[in-house]
Structure 1
């Protein structure tokens, strides 16, 4: 039970950390990744393909942010599977994989990759921030398991 709870709490914490960084830096750096725009496009296209009217404006932003936190929390919680000894290594690996996925999977999914691939700096920050989220998740899991 301790492993499951620490994995869930760590996953949520990593996802929230990732989104705080995304939201804060986009306010001050025009080269910051805009994963939120990719998410908004994905949500809009997905709902339209189901014949539903997607939200717009602030409602679209909140829906996308909520979905992003939930999906990243679930993804980051997988770091907790396996031995405690390798949590930080798995956190880094899972984070790097998510960042590379954000760079390479948007186009094949029919989404614009421009918000995450505009410049080399944007690409680097995309991978770095997902890696940070993975490391935060792993660190929280480790701390909770040491109690």
Structure 2
């Protein structure tokens, strides 16, 4: 295996693990917790807004939901894969930092972006869950990264 593959594969694989953990948290919690963050709603709004701006047809709601899940998984996996820029001994710090930064962005950016604030920060509990779940995703990414780096030595 080339040196490049030993660097890129653990980063991308661990990013996908973190994104999957984050999405599973969002999707499960929204079924049971009234104040749970609604990343699905933010994603749907973002996709609709982009398609309308590009003068493209917006898919039906059920189809839009799957576009949103796919977009969330892809974008979060690529974002969390930035953990690969850190040395393995700093992976946990990098994962936590990435998670906290993403959580803060998910709380603070939707309003200025015209996507509304309720899905990620309608209550203090909603905002705390948003940040906490992105942090968990970052920590899951770090754990997966360390495991994959060890396996690919």
Matched, 1:140 2:144: yes
Once the two structures are superposed, residues 46-84 of structure 1 have per-residue CA deviations (whole angstroms, 9 ceiling, x without a partner) of: 100111111122100000110010000000000111211
Give the TM-score of the pair, scaled to structure 2.
Answer: 0.94
List aligned pairs for 1:1-147, cutoff 5 A: 1-147=5-151
The RMSD of aligned alpha carbons is 0.7
| Gap runs ≥5 in structure 1 | none
In structure 2, list runs of 5 or more residues that go unmatched. Answer: none
Cα distance in 1 for residues equivalent to 2:104 and 2:60? 28
Q: Deviations over 1:82-125 (max 9, x none)?
A: 21100000000000000000111111111111111111000000
List 4+ stretches of structure 1 deviating above 3 A.
none
In the comparison of the two structures, how many residue pairs are matched?
147
Distance in 2, matches of 1:77 and 1:29, equals 29
Instruction: Give the structure-1-normalised TM-score.
Output: 0.98
